[in-house]
Structure formats: C-alpha cells, structure tokens
A = this chain, B = another copy of it.
Amino acid sequence: MADQAPPFSRIVANLPAAVPFVPPEELERKTGVKVRLRLGANESSFGMSPLAREAMENSLGENHLYGDALSLDLKMELATRHGIATEMITVAGGIDELLGWIARVFLNPGDPVTASLGSYPTFHYHVEGFGGRLHKVPYRGGKNDLDALAETARNTGSRIVYLANPDNPTGTWFTAAELKEFRRQLPADCLLLLDEAYLEFAPAAAHLPLDPADPGVIRTRTFSKAYGMAGLRIGYAFAQREIITAFDKIRNHFGVSRIAQIGALAALQDERFLQHVVEEVAAGRREYETLAETLGFAAYPSATNFVAIDTGDADRAAAIQDALWQRGVFIRVPGVAPLNRCLRVSVGTPGERQEFARILRKVMAEL
C-alpha cells in the first residue's frame, strides 16, 4: 500500500488552498459568535414568493425522483419571457456553477482572462482552478473601468472578460449604451461574460437588450437574489446555441435539483412579489445611504440589493466589521484595495435595517 495519495493533476497540484468565501456558519464556529443579523451574503431577507413556497411544499413527495436533466419546463418559460429559443438557455446550480463551466469551456491552461481587481472572487477562483491567468484591472471612481478592461483584454489576448452589471461588490452599474460600446471595443474572439446576478434590482436603462446574433456574449442570471432562493441553487445563462451545446458536453446533467426547478418555475409567475421585493430593496438602499451620510461616510450608488458604504480607510472598515461581528452582525468588507475601505451591507427587512443602524451607530460612537 502507498503511503501517500495518488498524484494530482498538474493544475490541481499547483493550486493554492484558497476558498472564495468563508461562510458565516464557519465564522460562527471559529469565533463562537452567533449571527443575529445576516447581512453579508446579499441573500434576500424578503424570502421567496409564496407561490414558489407552495409549489415546493406540494412537491415534497417527489424528492425521490431525479429532476429533468434538461430543466425544459423552466427553460421554456424563460424562453417565452425573454423572446428567445430554449436552445439559447442553460440552467445550472446557480451562477457559481456557470462560472466554472465557462472557465472550463473557454480556457486552456495558461490562457489569459481579464476582470476587475476585486471583482467576484468565485469567478477568479474558477479561472485559476482551470489554469487560467488573470489580468486584473483596478476599479476607477468606484466603477469598473470599461476602457481599461477592454484595453487589457486586447493587449493580453484574453479569452474572457468578466463584467458584473450591476456590479458586486460596489453595486454600481452601466447603461445599455455604455455596455454596447464596451462590447464593440473587445476583440472578436474574446468572450464577454456579463454577470447579471443583480439585474432585477437595476433600472431599465441597465438592461442590455438580448442580441441573439452576437455569439460572443454570455449573460448569467440567478434565482438567488431578487427571487430569494440562494439556498436552492438555481441560475441560468443566455448564450449562443453553440455555447449551450458545449456546456452540455461537460456539465453535470442531473445536477439541478427537482425542487429548485419547481420553485423557480413558480417564482417566475409571481411578478407582484418580485416587484414588491424590488421596491422594498430600493427603500432600504435609500435608508442605508442616509445612514452612511449621517455617519459622515459616502455610499456608492447601488442598483443591487446591497450598499457599499465607503468609510474612507481600510483599517477603519476592518475595525467596524470586527466590532459589528462581535455584536452578531455579519457584513462583508471586500478583500482588495481600494474597495477594502467599504462595508458591503445587504438590504434587510425594515426591522433588520433599524437594528443594523442602531448597532452601527453604537459601534461608531465607541470606536
């Protein structure tokens, strides 16, 4: 018998032991703190549609059956709503899984990729996990620097450029016109990966119209945010047929749970609930902006379900985060400068927001 594990692949052997995010449960275990305000993962405090809940409850007796490997009912509903063919849609276990598929389909080891410095860590994680080389472009004025991203993509021969619109962790956004211009600036053989996880919260001007004729764009969407189904793991993407077919060659075909497919399909029917969440979140953002102002901080303009509050100093942000955590308040501070000056706070319910404001004021008075 050998005394060590069989050798790992070259890529895996060279990977650092890094996780994109430590979950709040693990932070609780490590620190002994019990979270009472969970505002750090941009989960929806407004929960999911009662129609989704009912459909899922009614399906509890079906969990012994695999879900449809094609998620076709859901794809048909999405196709109808967005006016595109089902062959241009794929359904996955959330955007995180989609980002892994995209890295795998488009990257050979060593291939260059462009993304903003401090953008979604899980995308960086999957690119590195498939041996890609990340070129990171600093944010400028709290926004993704589109000109610099396009220039870097061109200069490095990037296979993929990643852009979240609206953005995480800043919450800022671009108009469809700005995105179109950005798309025009990219090399013809570079994929634009447009992560639209938060799009439901954004103004209409941020919605880039779908262009089925453009083969170089993938748009990822999710039921985790506005639909309040983060725990269920379901998201989708729009892309050209050839790309969807490539996903079908590598994806875990039965990977999306039956109950998530059922819940998501029902959630799409409840536009009133979605509208209610979007309005509540907008009200919450305004509250956070006012709160930030009264504390002498600036808030980034947000089109998402969170607000990044700029404390002006990374040490200060870390101290506030720590003091909040000791009081059971879970928020995030982005890991990379200059965004590490910010407190990223998810919009909670009115009660949660009031409680957060009370604790933050207390923390600020004590620091």
Contact = CB atoms under 8 A, between A and B. Distances in A.
A231 B104 CA distance: 26
A117 to B, nearest CB: 21
A17 B245 contact: yes
Contacts of A46: 64
Contact of A53 (B60, B65, B72): B60
A299 to B, nearest CB: 24
Given A8-B105, A8-B246, A26 B72 contact: yes
A191 B38 CA distance: 42
A41 to B, nearest CB: 6
Contacts of A250: 12, 15, 129
A108 B10 contact: yes
Contacts of A5: 191, 215-216, 239-240, 242-243, 246
A155 interface: no
Nearest to A60: B53
A210 interface: no
Contact of A43 (B10, B64, B213): B64
Q: Chain A, interface size: which category?
A: 35 or more
A179 to B, nearest CB: 14
A252 B95 CA distance: 10
A47 B69 contact: no
A231 B2 contact: no
Interface stretch (A163-171, A200-208, A254-262, A283-291): A254-262
Contacts of A70: 23, 25-26
8 contacts: A5-B246, A9-B106, A15-B249, A25-B68, A25-B70, A38-B65, A57-B57, A233-B255
Contacts of A255: 93-94, 96-97, 233
A367 interface: no
B216 A63 contact: no
A117 B146 CA distance: 52
Interface in A99-125: 100, 104-108, 111, 122
A69 B6 contact: no
A232 interface: yes
Nearest to A107: B9
A44 B64 contact: yes
Interface in A243-297: 243, 245-246, 248-250, 252-260, 263
A67 interface: yes
Nearest to A130: B9
Contacts of A31: none
Contacts of A68: 23, 25-26
Interface in A1-46: 1-10, 12, 15-23, 25-26, 29, 38, 41, 43-46
A61 interface: yes
Contacts of A259: 231-232, 259
Nearest to A15: B249
A62 interface: yes
A104 B126 CA distance: 13
Contacts of A10: 108
